[in-house]
Amino acid sequence: MFNTRDLRGYGQYGPQPNWPNGARIAISFVVNYEEGGENTPSNGDPATEVFLNETPGGQPKKERDMNMETQYEYGSRVGVWRIMRMFEKRAWKFTCYAVGRAVELNPEPVKAMFEQGHEIASHNYRWIDYAALSEEQEREHIHLGINAIKDAIGKPPVGWYTGRISPRSRQIAIEEFKKLGLPLLYDSDAYNDELPYYVGDHLFSVAPGFSSPDAFFQYLKNTFDVLYEEGATRPKFMNVGLHCRLVGKPGRAAALDQFMTYG
């Protein structure tokens, strides 16, 4: 299914989604809950995490990197709650991509999200590069990721996002859900179209990326404006990806709040 590339997509004219009330654009917010599931010797990994943090360009270490670990911990201790409050005050809903190991270590935020009516999807069991694992290990992690969410909220996820995938990841996720008799309504491991349209805050930590919260807001605003104009004839979809340890910082949260007010 995923062994060949599709470079054509929808072609010149995409589908015509009929959004409620004739809306030109639908916006989906996604909160990535990964903290505790990243690479760290604490999880038995050979080296530390170097991806999606405040100090890009660092090299992996064989010992625990306390600076890296505490950067991630900010997301689960502080950032996630700030983001949730921003959505709660507007009565807006988001999808949470929850890493199974992160849920096991600190299920409270995910339980609170579920109680507030947010969707809990799976972000696999670990926030690691699955190209480095065997197929057997990948399949095992799919089951662990499903079970972690089921144990926390009482029901399995119906959406899936691995992130750092292997060439086989998407196919075996489908296969394992079928083996378990569970519905898998969607996976999000593709970035090749505007339905959905992916806009993530991870650019904060990649050079060249967003140099300031103002740049993040401007990028979101510009994306919205272009899609809204195009949506006059063909409705559009915009997906805003958020990371608790990044956009959960006060200055960046202000930029997100500004966009939510603008949109």
pLDDT in tens, 108-125: 999 999 999 999 999 999
Instruction: Report the alpha-carbon distance of residue 201 to residue 210 in Å, rounded.
Output: 8
Give the chain's domain count. 1
**Structural contact between residues 239 and 197, judged by C-beta atoms closer than 8 angstroms:** yes
Give the global pTM.
Answer: 0.92
Domain presence at residue 123: yes
Q: Which residues pair with 160 in a beta bridge?
A: 122, 187
pLDDT for 199 beyond 50? no
pLDDT single digits (tens) 76-112: 999 999 999 999 999 999 999 999 999 999 999 999 9
Instruction: Report the alpha-carbon distance of residue 120 to residue 250 in Å, rounded.
Output: 24
Instruction: Report the alpha-carbon distance of residue 246 to residue 188 in Å, rounded.
Output: 21
Domain presence at residue 224: no
Domain presence at residue 108: yes
Nearest to 83 by CA among 259, 253, 263, 258: 253
- The total of other beta-carbon atoms located within 10 Å of residue 102's CB is 28
Starting at the edge strand that comes first in sequence, how are the strands of the sheet with 25-33 ordered?
A: 186-187, 159-160, 119-122, 95-98, 25-33, 236-243, 198-200
Domain that holds residue 159: 33-211
Domain presence at residue 21: no
Domain presence at residue 143: yes
Residues across the chain: 263
DSSP string, 150-173: HHHHSS--SEE--SS--TTHHHHH
The percent of residues above 70 in pLDDT, for the chain, comes to 94
Domain presence at residue 196: yes
Domain presence at residue 237: no
CATH of the domain at 185: 3.20.20.370
For residue 215, give the H/E element and its range.
Answer: helix 213-230
Give whole-number Cα distances, 72 to 97, 105, 116, in Å.
Answer: 16, 13, 24
**Structural contact between residues 14 and 195, judged by C-beta atoms closer than 8 angstroms:** yes
Domain presence at residue 254: no
